[in-house]
Structure 1
Amino acid sequence: MSTTADIIIHNGRVRTMDDSRPFAEAVALAGNSILAVGSDAEVKALAGTTTRLVDARGATVMPGFNEAHMHIFGGSVGLGQLSLMGVKGFDALKSAVLAYAAANPDMPLLEALYADYTILSEDERVSRHHLDAIIADRPFVMMAPDRHTAWANTVALDKAGILNGRDVGVGNEIVMGADGLAAGELREGNAFGPIMALSATGGREMLGGATGGDPAHVTPAERATDIAVLKQGLAYCASLGITSFQNMDGNLYQLEMLQEIEDTQGLPVRARMPFHMKNFMPLTDLEKKAAAWRARFDSDKLRCNFVKVFMDGVTEGETAVFVDDYAHKPGWKGEPLFSAGHFNEIAVEADRLGLPIAVHAIGDGAVRMVLDGYEAARDANGKSDRRNRVEHIEVVHPDDIPRFAELGTVASMQPTHPPGSAGLPLEPYLTYIGRERWPYAFAWKRLVEAGAKMVFSTDWPVSPLSPLSCIRDAMTRKRWADDMPDQRLSLDETLAAYTRTGAWVEFMEDRKGVLKPGYLADVVVLSAEIGQAIAQETADIAVEMTICDGRVTYEKS
């Protein structure tokens, strides 16, 4: 390694996330590695005639953020879609949709994001008739914040061939009306996938999650468009201080596009992608595809080394799986996407192949099934450091909390998701899970205190991507009732969940996630000292500079 720095960041409050030296004043970078961390005098002595000096002006300098659960292709596409965040009531919805339609006269499918389940009112569910009253002559669809439920108007349902309903498989539903036609509400990807296929991208951004497969045919022009969209999303990540992301949907199409970007201009963000195992795929795909992709994509910039699975849906769509009945719907617990036996087979085989698993599990019943599968893998193959994950864990049964530490299972959670936080409504969520389950919902502190490793993320585009906003949400979460436990973590615990623990879960703790000599040069410079900010003000802190692999990937103008 060179002894002369290419970049020196000085006069900062350097939060190294390294327990052996938590704070410093300056960091020196040479090539794609950290050359030194120390005092201003020590580090500035490494400057040469071409060294760039960056004055942090007393603000926080820290490892780049590791967004541990997101969807890069869908999020990138979403940057050009209508946001309905904060929109309430029919009139406001109509105004927003018509303005968006007028501004996009040639768009084949008008798409909106962040439509609350209660966007009309607390007790009126959206139907195609509501949407027809807003716009009837152009296909329109809007997606719930969780992206597990969508609502479409009649022309969209008709053009997609689902106005009369269709078998969409277990755990998915085209809600039907009393007239025998689709009511407009579409639950889970198989149900709204035909609608998304009407879009300008042909729904290609959905395939990695909905089917785990690749588009049947893509023209060179379509591929070029998709790559351009991905580049916009990657640049957006860099602008928010993100230097690594872990994707939660995956297919070969996305991997090859990201590899092309890396080969031609360099990825501005490190990417970890999964093989997405669906319930209709043969078990042999784990060896033929997942293990093969791991061998093919295995660099520090782009890796494909884990398996993603969906066990259930979401609570508001009544597709999450619970141990006991939904509080508002006696007799209904939800239906898992995999049987216990089927998932256990997958867990055992993935573990045999050395592939970690990340499983979407919202309800406590789904969480228990996932933990049972990880236990089956341990019993079959012996104990190993696999770093399997459970994604979301919106509700966990108290009996299962200690099992996370016992099985070495990572709790992957989103501070932007609790109802009442980040602008989300309390209902219908609180009513659906019932008062008895409230203390075990989004139980970050309970899990950490029980010894679970935890990573934080946003699930973008389910929630806005900014890590600083997410940290604010984690630090300002309000209790739903005075007798509820306070689930907030400390600032240090929260920052660790966004940096070094994210690196650990990727098996990259030996080279990123902390600022330490010899580690990869992934750094973010903020506009203020995060430790001095009032928690509510954290989201107002700006990213001044992002450096990934020693290259400046974003700089505030």
Structure 2
Amino acid sequence: MKRFIPNLLTIAVSFASMEAMAATDLVLFNGQVFTADLAQPKVQALAVADGKVLQVGSDAQIKALIETGTRVIDLGGKTLMPGLIDSHSHAIFGGLEMTSANMQDKVVSLDELERKLRAWRDDGKARHGDVLSIAGMSSAYWAQAEALGQRFNAGEWAKVPVVFTGSDHHTAWANAVMLERAGIDAALLKTLPQAERDTIGQLADGRPNGFLVDAGWDRVAAKMPVPSAAALLNAAQSAVRYNNSLGITAWMDPAANAAPGEAVFALKPTAQTVGVLPAYKALAESGGMSAHVAALLVANPKSRPADLDVLEQVRQQFQGIPNLTLPGVKIFADGVIEYPAQSAAMIDPYSNSHKQGELLIDPEHFGELVSAIDQRGWRVHIHA
């Protein structure tokens, strides 16, 4: 019997009324099959041949297609539907977080947060090299930047790098040890352009308070320990397994050439900037890629058309991999509008801070870049 591909329902479904010509590999009957076909939205049964939907219809119609060697599944009245497609998923980053310390947007007191950090330090979930890190932090914590500093720059944390990463992945907070490692201090802040300076929170005396947004977070992220190839493969396996459990059988990964710890908002890709693509490749080679991934490559916001040659070199390294395609490019035009980050570029200033965010692209040449990407037949995905 031919191998049954778990993500067969991601393909466009073609319904045939004529007698099936291909050998039937799989029959599913006694179910509520949602077809997404307005003319025949719900049927009882479905037949599969060579990984594709062969025919849908009543139990009697589809059972007639059963042959020697056909796998037969009684759905027991359950619903069967086409696979879901997630149009924006940093799946492997999520896979890493599934096995690490994660607040999952829950807000607790600083006393409880400290207890959780201590517990996750002791069981290893918060340990990334010598850095202690908790992901999934609610943005509600960032209003307490100074209180976080008083708590996690003293006592048992005084000499330990500590990082709290926002669930939006655009914001974070780092303690003094980690800020020093990233070279972020009052002297640096004075040298930065105003828009970039605004991505690093400040105390009244001009010192950083630990709060970081986009470009500011990039400086700290670049100093975080890089996950091993084995850890990334495990994250890919976890991500595929979790997505499949929810009926998600395809997604667009909008920053596949960026790896955890890389400065994604100001990425300057080379032919060796391959991010999580090797993890997807390893997963496919092991036979575990039961989802289709459309992987986008991040281009620097101020790229020129000639810079696209580097991305083409990356694309060539990952051709012919089952269930992996590289259809286009992602560019960050700015940050996020949510308070307190407010790094999204605005025509009119924010009413509270009177700042306008940070525009990352070069308006004078951006049109040339987009046209050059389009001429290569690539999709252009812009974070704006």
Please say whether Structure 1 and Structure 2 have the same fold, judged by a TM-score greater than 0.5. Answer: yes
In the alignment, what sits opposite 1:328? 352
User: What TM-score does the superposition give when structure 2 sets the normalisation length?
Assistant: 0.78
1:257 equivalent in structure 2: 279
Which amino acid in the other structure matches residue 326 of structure 2?
C
Kept in 2: contact 1:28–1:46 (CA 8 A): yes
Q: Secondary structure at the match of 2:244?
A: helix
Tell me, what secondary structure is at the counterpart of 1:82?
coil
1:131 aligns with 2:155: no
- Classify 1:296/1:115 alpha carbon distance in 2 versus 1 (closer, same or farther; 3 Å): closer
Q: Secondary structure of 2:204's partner?
A: coil
How far apart are residue 298 of structure 1 and its match? Answer: 5.6
Indicate how the Cα distance of structure 1 residues 114 and 225 shifts in structure 2: closer, same or farther if over 3 A, else same.
closer
Residues paired across the two proteins, number: 338
Residues 128 and 151, structure 1, Cα contact 8 Å, conserved in 2: no
Would the aligned equivalents of 1:293 and 1:305 in 2 still touch at CA under 8 Å?
Answer: no
Matched, 1:236 2:242: yes
CA separation in 1, counterparts of 2:22 and 2:325? Answer: 30
> Is the 2:332–2:360 Cα contact (8 Å) retained in structure 1?
yes
Counterparts of 2:325 and 2:196 in 1: how far apart (Å)? 30
CA contact (8 A) 1:129 1:153 kept: no
Task: Kindly state the Cα deviation for residue 63 of structure 1 after the two structures are TM-superposed.
Answer: 0.8
Which amino acid counterpart does residue 303 of structure 1 have in structure 2?
T
| Contact 2:172 2:212 survives alignment (8 Å) | yes
State whether residues 175 and 185 of structure 1, in contact with CA within 8 Å, keep that contact through their aligned partners in structure 2.
Answer: yes
Deviations 1:489-523 (A, max 9, x none): xxxxxxxxxxxxxxxxxxxxxxxxxxxxxxxxxxx
Segments of 5+ residues of structure 2 without an aligned counterpart are 1-19, 258-273
Which residue, out of 358, 382, 390, partners 2:381?
Answer: 358
| TM-score, scaled relative to structure 1 | 0.55
Q: Which residue of 2 aligns with 1:338?
A: 361
Matched, 1:88 2:108: yes
Partner SS, residue 305 of structure 2: coil
Query: CA-to-partner distance for each residue in 1:470-506, whole Å, 9 max, x for gaps?
Result: xxxxxxxxxxxxxxxxxxxxxxxxxxxxxxxxxxxxx
For residues 263 and 301 of structure 1, the distance between their equivalents in structure 2, rounded to whole angstroms, comes to 11
SS in 2 for 1:324: coil
Q: Of residues 30, 40, 49 in structure 2, which corresponds to 1:21?
A: 40
Structure 1 residue corresponding to 2:218, chosen from 190, 193, 212? 193
Distance in 2 of aligned mates of 1:73 and 1:83? 15
Counterpart Cα distance in 2 of 1:20 and 1:291: 46
Q: Within 5 A, what are the aligned runs for 1:1-12?
A: 3-12=22-31
Deviation at 1:253, TM superposition (A): 4.0
Deviation by residue 1:81-114 (Cα, 9 ceiling, x = unmatched): 2222222332232222222122118642222222
Q: Is the 8 A contact 2:196 2:216 kept in 1?
A: no
Deviation of 1:24 (Å): 1.4
Residue 200 of structure 2 corresponds to residue 177 of structure 1: no
1:347, 1:144 → 2: CA distance? 30
Q: Give structure 1 stretches of 5+ with no counterpart.
A: 205-221, 362-557
* Equivalence for 2:88: 69
Asked if the contact 1:154/1:163 (under 8 Å) is kept, the reply is no
CA distance in 1, matches of 2:314, 2:21: 36
Question: In structure 1, what is the Cα distance between the partners aligned to 2:119 and 2:203?
Answer: 29
Q: For each residue in 1:164-212, what CA deviation from the matched residue of structure 2 results, as whole angstroms up to 9, or x when unmatched?
A: 5466776572223234432101111x42234334544x2x6xxxxxxxx
1:125 deviates by 4.2
The percentage of aligned residue pairs carrying the same residue is: 27
Structure having greater relative contact order (Cα 8 Å, sep ≥ 6): 1
Cα distance in structure 1, aligned partners of 2:75 and 2:351: 52
Cα distance in structure 2, aligned partners of 1:146 and 1:171: 19
Change (3 A) 1:152 1:347: same
Give RMSD over aligned pairs: 2.8
In 2, are the aligned partners of 1:245 and 1:272 still within 8 Å (CA)?
Answer: yes
- Deviation of 1:34 (Å): 1.4
* Structure label with greater radius of gyration: 2
Shift of 1:321: 2.0
